[in-house]
């Protein structure tokens, strides 16, 4: 079970934002897309960080809401971006997310952003996999 298999079952569209955008812009984009994180990219399109809802809330707690319109994404993002490869195992990615206390991992392929997996994506894929194995076992037992 690899990250590539998880990505195969979902859209490869990754929501990104530049590091110079304001946190208000980022919050608006998260709300518009109904998602929990944006991959922060540099002008060349390389993933340099992740901005999550948690990052914005942390910034609000530290600096107040008056800063949302002026504080940059670069000031609040988690950086450097913790990434995975399509060939990495999904269970290893889950362990990494648990250890680092993060919920989103950009996926890089040949150094370029190829997707994003969330902890929800990985848990769903794992549950689906376990259910398929259980169904196969039930069918095997019933046919014996």
Question: What are the structural domain ranges in the chain?
Answer: 3-143
Tokens linked to 102:
């993060």
pLDDT band at 143 (very low <50, low <70, confident <90, very high): confident
Integer Cα distance of 111 and 124 in angstroms: 26
| CATH 3.30.70.260 given to domain 3-143 | no
pLDDT of 133 reads 86
- Reading the block at residue 79, the tokens are 């950086």
Rounded to whole angstroms, the Cα distance separating 96 from 99 reads 5
Q: With bands split at pLDDT 50, 70 and 90, how would you rate the model's confidence at 77?
A: very high
| Percentages of the chain per state (helix, strand, coil), in multiples of 5 | 50, 25, 30
Q: What pLDDT digit, counting tens, does each position of 27-74 carry? A: 999 999 999 999 999 999 899 999 999 999 999 999 888 878 999 999
Q: Is the pLDDT of residue 139 over 80?
A: yes
Burial class for 73, CB neighbours closer than 10 Å (0-12, 13-18, 19+): buried
Residue pair 86/2 in contact (Cβ under 8 Å)? The answer is yes
- Predicted local distance difference test score (pLDDT) of residue 125: 87
């Amino acid at each position: 079970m690899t990250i590539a298999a998880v990505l195969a079952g979902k859209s490869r569209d990754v929501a990104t934002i530049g590091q110079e955008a304001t946190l208000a812009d980022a919050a608006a984009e998260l709300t518009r897309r109904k998602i929990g994180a944006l991959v922060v990219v540099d002008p060349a399109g390389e993933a340099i960080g992740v901005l999550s809802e948690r990052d914005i809330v942390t910034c609000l707690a530290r600096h107040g809401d008056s800063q949302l319109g002026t504080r940059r994404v670069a000031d609040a993002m988690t950086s450097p971006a913790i990434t995975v490869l399509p060939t990495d195992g999904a269970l290893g990615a889950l362990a990494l997310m648990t250890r680092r206390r993060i919920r989103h991992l950009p996926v890089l392929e040949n150094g370029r952003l190829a997707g994003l997996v969330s902890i929800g994506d990985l848990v769903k894929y794992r549950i689906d996999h376990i259910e398929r194995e259980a169904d196969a076992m039930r069918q095997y037992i019933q046919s014996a």
